[in-house]
């Protein structure tokens, strides 16, 4: 069916939005049914060791399993950290996220994307979901990593936790950071130098 004209279109667009919002409780219902059939639980938002956490990593996708591992290691070292892993982006489970993050001291959002001209998408979504909330975490730090299949190493999770803890102590979030090592930069510079020489050889 074609929906033509501003009046009809606005109506349908709004109805679609309301229907999408209704999908949040439906997701929980289906997830339960899935768990009964297959024995695996996939909640709209997975919260891992968040109850007693002061700092929380927020991350989406399969790379979040790396964050889980990092949480385990950091907890062994005495850090009160947790992980929040949204499985839904639309509809965005705002209520769940607000409940889990309320009262936390600091949040480290790890985006595996870079929306050019703005920054990490999940970071923006989260900021929008938490803005104005009375118990919103006072500090939210943005990290960009894992672009183009690049790995995110355990030491980088440690680094992100340290940066976030420091930001909490200072009460001020630093500028968004790209996870990129000196070695990687050297590698790219090396390729650029080779390309430059090739260019000169071409004449």
Partner 1 sequence: MFRRMKGLPSTHLLGAGTPMCAGCGGLEAIKEIYDILGEKTVFLNAAGCMTLLAIYPFTPFRGSWLYTAMASAPAGAQGVRDALDVLLHKGRISPEEDLEVVVLTGDGAAYGMGLSATSGAIERGLDFLYICYDNEGYGNTGQQYSAATPHGAKTSTSKGPRGFPGYKKDLFAIWSAHRAAYVATVVGAEPLDLARKIEKATSLKGPRLIIALSPCPTGWGYDPKETVEIGKLAVKTGVWPLKESIDGEVVHTKTPRKRLPVEAYLKRQGRFAHLFRPQRNEVLLKEIQAKVDAYWERVG
Q: Which residues of the shown chain bind partner 1 in the complex (CB under 8 A)?
A: 188, 191-192, 194-195, 198, 202
Q: Which is nearer to partner 1, 21 or 195 (CB)?
A: 195
Which residues have a Cβ under 8 Å from the Cβ of 82 and sit 6 or more positions away? Answer: 47, 48, 49, 50, 51, 52, 53, 55, 56, 57, 71
Structure-token match 């000196």, residue found: 182
For the record, the structure tokens of 187 come out as 């590698």
How far out from the chain centre does Cα 4 lie? 37
Which residues have a Cβ under 8 Å from the Cβ of 133 and sit 6 or more positions away? Answer: 98, 102
Cα gap 82→58, rounded to integer Å: 9
Q: What is the smallest separation between the CB atom of 89 and partner 1, expressed in angstroms?
A: 24
Q: What are phi and psi of 200, to 5 degrees?
A: -65, -35
Find the helix or strand (DSSP H, E) in which 84 lies: strand 81-86
Q: What is the smallest separation between the CB atom of 63 and partner 1, expressed in angstroms?
A: 24
Q: What is the smallest separation between the CB atom of 122 and partner 1, expressed in angstroms?
A: 27
Q: Which is nearer to partner 1, 77 or 202 (CB)?
A: 202
Q: What is the smallest separation between the CB atom of 137 and partner 1, expressed in angstroms?
A: 38
User: For the chain, what is the largest distance between any 2 Cα atoms, rounded to a whole number of angstroms?
Assistant: 69
Q: What is the smallest separation between the CB atom of 202 and partner 1, expressed in angstroms?
A: 5
Q: How many CB atoms lie within 10 A of CB 30?
A: 12
Cα gap 183→88, rounded to integer Å: 35
Q: Which is nearer to partner 1, 172 or 190 (CB)?
A: 190
Q: What is the smallest separation between the CB atom of 178 and partner 1, expressed in angstroms?
A: 17
């Amino acid at each position: 069916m074609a929906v033509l004209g501003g009046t009809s279109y606005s109506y349908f667009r709004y109805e679609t939005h309301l229907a999408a919002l209704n999908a949040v409780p439906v997701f929980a219902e289906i997830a339960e049914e899935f768990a009964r059939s297959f024995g695996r639980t996939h909640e709209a938002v997975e919260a891992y060791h968040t109850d007693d956490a002061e700092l929380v990593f927020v991350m989406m996708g399969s790379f979040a399993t790396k964050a889980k591992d990092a949480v385990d290691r950091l907890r062994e070292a005495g850090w009160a950290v947790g992980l929040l892993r949204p499985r839904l982006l639309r509809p965005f489970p705002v209520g769940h996220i607000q409940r889990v993050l309320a009262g936390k001291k600091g949040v480290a959002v790890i985006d595996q994307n870079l929306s050019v001209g703005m920054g990490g998408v999940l970071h923006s979504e989260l900021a929008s979901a938490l803005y104005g909330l009375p118990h919103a975490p006072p500090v939210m730090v943005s990290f960009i990593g894992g672009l183009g299949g690049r790995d995110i190493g355990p030491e980088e999770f440690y680094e992100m936790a340290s940066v976030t803890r420091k930001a909490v102590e200072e009460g001020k979030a630093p500028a968004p950071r790209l996870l990129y090592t000196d070695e990687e930069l050297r590698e790219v510079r090396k390729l650029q130098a080779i390309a430059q020489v090739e260019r000169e050889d071409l004449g």
